Amino acid sequence: MGDDILLTRTGFSNYGEKEIVLDEEIKINDTLGELYCLEKNGSGKWMDRAIEAVGELQCSFNNSSVNLPNGIKIINDDKDGFVLGTTISSFLLRSYIVKHCRCNLGVRGSLSYSIPVNIILFSLNSGADNYIKNTMESIESVLNHPHFSNCKSIDDICKKLNSVKDLNNRFNTSEK
């Protein structure tokens, strides 16, 4: 989780008669908002391969630090690591963290809003040269979310998966 993962998007808007550029930056590791999960994954070859690939990653349980508040570190190849497996992998690929974003409107000011972001799918599908490193950092961001505090084993993580709120019910006042 060292460096911030920065999602950027540039768009254009016609405001009056002038076209203005909207620059948006989302710092993934800036602050962790609420954690949500979709009930079901999309299906198909790409998703099946992604679940398998993420499931083969390993994690270690260390002392907490500023960058790893729960002490959960993702490692690619370590004899002492614990394999994530498909249950956690499937969850990770369905997980969303609410991010607080700011859109710079230039001389017109700025706009702030919150949006659920699937940082793991974004990293996997980014096409960036360092997408593996970014994906591993994104997984660390999710597993070091306060929801997973006190998790010291794969089994502890699995026990907490069912209590993550459903993304599609986030505005339902009956689900708390």
The Cα–Cα gap between 94 and 164 comes to: 11
The candidate with the shortest Cα–Cα distance to 108, out of 12, 8, 9, 15, is 15
pLDDT confidence of residue 174: 64
- Output the pTM of the full model: 0.76
- On whether the CB atoms of residues 87 and 107 are closer than 8 A, the answer is no
Q: Indicate the angle between helix axes 154-161 and 85-94, nearest 10 degrees.
A: 50
66 phi and psi, to 5 degrees? -60, -45
d(CA 94, CA 92): 5
pLDDT at 176: 47
Q: Please report the pLDDT score of residue 31 as a whole number.
A: 56
Q: Where are the domains of the chain?
A: 6-164
- How many CB atoms are closer than 10 A to CB 127? 6
In sequence order, which residues have a C-beta less than 8 Å from that of residue 137 and are 6 or more positions away?
A: 1, 2, 3, 5, 29, 74, 123
Residue 74: predicted pLDDT: 95
Number of Cβ within 10 Å of residue 102's Cβ equals 15
Per-residue pLDDT tens digits of the chain, which is 176 residues long: 444 444 444 444 444 444 444 444 444 444 568 999 998 877 789 889 999 999 999 999 999 999 999 999 999 877 788 999 999 999 999 999 998 877 888 888 888 888 898 989 888 877 767 788 889 999 999 999 999 999 999 999 999 999 999 988 888 776 54
166 to 16, 28, 32, 96, 120: CA distances (angstroms): 40, 20, 17, 10, 17
Beta partners for residue 166, in sequence order: 37
Cβ contact 77:58 at 8 Å? yes
pLDDT in tens, 123-150: 887 776 778 888 999 999 999 999 999 9
